[in-house]
Amino acid sequence: MARTIKNPKKAKRKNKGSKKGDGASTSASVPKFQPRVWQPGVDELEEGEELQCDPSAYNSLHAFHIGWPCLSFDIVRDSMGSDRKDFPHTVYFVAGTQAEKASWNSIGVFKVSNVSGKRRELVPTKSEDDPEKDGEDSDSDDSEDEEEGGSGAPVLQLRKVAHHGCVNRIRAMTQNPHICASWADSGHVQVWDFSSHLNALAESETEGTQGASAVFNQAPLVNFRGHKDEGYAIDWSPVVPGRLVTGDCKNCIHLWEPTSGSTWNVDATPFIGHSASVEDLQWSPTEPHAFVSCSVDGTIAIWDIRIGKSPAASFKAHDADVNVISWNRQASCMLASGSDDGTFSIHDFRLLKDGNTVVAHFKYHKFPVTSIEWSPHEASTLAVSSSDNQLTIWDLSLEKDEEEEAEFKAQTKEEVNAPDDLPPQLLFVHQGQKDLKELHWHTQIPGMVVSTAADGFNILMPSNIQSTLPSNGS
Q: What is the pLDDT of residue 3?
A: 26
Which of 273-277, 294-298, 311-315, 417-421 is predicted least confidently? 417-421
Task: Give 202-253 as a DSSP string.
Answer: HHS-SSS-TT---EE----SEEE---SS---EEEE-SSSTT-EEEE-TTSEE
pLDDT of residue 236: 98
Q: 258 phi and psi, to 5 degrees?
A: -75, 145
Contact (Cβ atoms closer than 8 angstroms) between residue 294 and residue 302: no
pLDDT of residue 261: 76
- pLDDT at 25 (0 to 100): 35
* pLDDT for residue 403 is more than 60: yes
CB 53, CB 37: distance < 8 Å: no
381 contact partners, CB below 8 Å, separation of at least 6: 374, 375, 393, 394, 395, 396, 427, 465, 467
Please state, in angstroms and rounded to a whole number, the distance separating the CA atoms of residues 13 and 45.
Answer: 8
Q: Is the pLDDT of residue 39 over 80?
A: no
Which run of H or of E encompasses 322?
strand 322-327
Give the up-direction half-sphere exposure of residue 35: CA atoms within 13 A in the CB hemisphere.
23
pLDDT band at 33 (very low <50, low <70, confident <90, very high): low
From the list 29, 32, 28, the residue with the least C-alpha distance to 18 is: 32
Model pTM?
A: 0.86
Beta strands in 56-133 (DSSP E): 58-64, 70-76, 89-97, 106-115
Q: Tens digits of per-residue pLDDT, 172-220?
A: 999 999 999 999 999 999 999 999 999 999 998 765 444 457 999 999 9
Q: What is the number of alpha carbons within 13 Å of residue 317 lying toward its C-beta?
A: 33
How would DSSP label each residue in 365-396?
A: -SS-EEEEEE-SS-TTEEEEEETTSEEEEEET
What is the β-pairing status of strands 49-52 and 70-76? unpaired
Listed ranges 6-10, 31-35, 161-165, 403-407; the one with the highest mean pLDDT? 161-165
Could you give the CA distance from residue 251 to residue 274 in angstroms, rounded to a whole number?
6
The residue type of 127 is S
Residue 275: exposure state from Cβ atoms within 10 A (0-12, 13-18, ≥19): exposed
Q: Read off the pLDDT of residues 319-334 as tens digits, 9 standing for 90 and up.
A: 999 999 999 999 999 9
Q: What is the DSSP letter of 454?
A: T
pLDDT per position as a tens digit, 81-135: 999 999 999 999 999 999 999 999 999 999 999 999 998 876 655 544 444 444 4
- d(C-alpha 408, C-alpha 10), whole Å: 13
